[in-house]
Structure 1
């Protein structure tokens, strides 16, 4: 029987007939992530930027929310291609990358999330939860269908380039970081 993955945030937004509601898990706790996942939210963000989360605690939270009809989003600590690859290999299907201020930075983020020829993500799906250890039929060929990339605009420079950032191929959406934007 083929194994299918959950819908990404991009997919949920495209199919939504109402506003989607989400919450941020900043505790590092899989128990808190599970409580939030079961609360009726549409998406739950696991924060690696401003929370005590590393790869291990992020994986534990992805496991905890996987039993619920919620879309997990993992916010990377930075626009680092290695970290983005690791987050996706953990099985996160939607990643949010903070502090993107230029179309070039957005392009780098998009490339980090896609396999060649569209991107530069290292091919390790047989060893990773992302393809459920090669149990997802056609994962490599269809990986772009299973991965959704959002960026966060948090600077005046990013706000000025917002249209170009949003139009970057491989970027599915934009969040605005109001605190850092106000500070910039």
Structure 2
């Protein structure tokens, strides 16, 4: 008798019940592409780890290894796909990624395309291959084809001046569970490259938070600087991405070098 099971919780399940003191959900990027790093971060006590297939040095096999490494912990895995592409999204879903962030979504039409990519026909264009894939545990998830939507969380990334203007319409698209705001690219499109803390960028992020929440969807933001994260939490962000494995390693190893090898020059990084 084969083992029957449901997949573990997805990102939207973190918001299904009451959190202690109504606290904001917190997580971090895993950008190294390393399954060991993903496992270490998954056991740190954060709510989620965000496996970065957009900027990280990863392929399908390394994402699969990271998903398996995280699966043993009470920590949700989220995957940021490289591009809003139906073929790529299908592949990541079939690997067993249940929570996706789709980057560079600028319009409601872009958001609708992402929704179509995660849904089977006739509601969408996702190819049917669950019997062959980890998503349905090789047909061991009962009635997976009919229930796939309940296991998937779809977040889209608002990270341009155009997307901020369209944020309300993006959030209102049926099938979008939430919005993730990227201040770095947003600052660049506003002519403020590397200035995520510029008042105009901060105002645009807060405006987007308000508009997405008004649409009844969850909204989060990338903010590695604690004071910035706290400001966005106060503005109503439901989740905050507060760090990255590679950034922690870089800053931590620099601190060791400054302590034991040479005096700190005082020149910090221009951005994260």
Give the TM-score normalised by structure 1. 0.97
Map 1:123-162 onto structure 2 (within 5 A): 123-162=128-167
Q: CA deviation at 1:38?
A: 0.7
CA–CA distance in structure 1, aligned partners of residues 83 and 94 of structure 2 = 16
Aligned to 2:170: 165
Residue 142 of structure 1 aligns to a residue in which SS?
helix
CA–CA distance in structure 2, aligned partners of residues 181 and 124 of structure 1 = 36
Q: CA deviation at 1:81?
A: 0.8
Q: CA deviation at 1:110?
A: 0.6
1:19 to 2:10 alignment = no
Q: CA deviation at 1:15?
A: 2.2
Question: Structure 1 residues 15-24 or 32-41, which shifts more?
Answer: 15-24
1:45 to 2:20 alignment = no
CA–CA distance in structure 2, aligned partners of residues 114 and 128 of structure 1 = 16
CA–CA distance in structure 1, aligned partners of residues 141 and 179 of structure 2 = 28
What is the CA deviation profile of residues 92-144 of structure 1, one whole-angstrom value per residue up to 9, with x for unaligned ones?
00000100000000000011011112211000000000000000001100100
Residue 16 of structure 2 aligns to a residue in which SS?
helix
Map 1:93-108 onto structure 2 (within 5 A): 93-108=98-113
Aligned to 2:126: 121
Residue 28 of structure 2 aligns to a residue in which SS?
strand
CA–CA distance in structure 1, aligned partners of residues 132 and 86 of structure 2 = 18
CA RMSD of the aligned region, Å? 0.9
Is there any run of 5+ residues in structure 2 with no aligned partner, and where?
Answer: 190-272
2:64 to 59, 80, 91: 59
Aligned to 2:7: 5
Aligned to 1:30: 35
Residue 152 of structure 1 aligns to a residue in which SS?
strand
Question: Structure 1 residues 153-162 or 9-18, which shifts more?
Answer: 9-18
Residue 145 of structure 2 aligns to a residue in which SS?
coil
Provide the aligned length of Structure 1 versus Structure 2.
184
Give the TM-score normalised by structure 2. 0.66
Residue 15 of structure 1 aligns to a residue in which SS?
coil
Bigger share in helix = 2
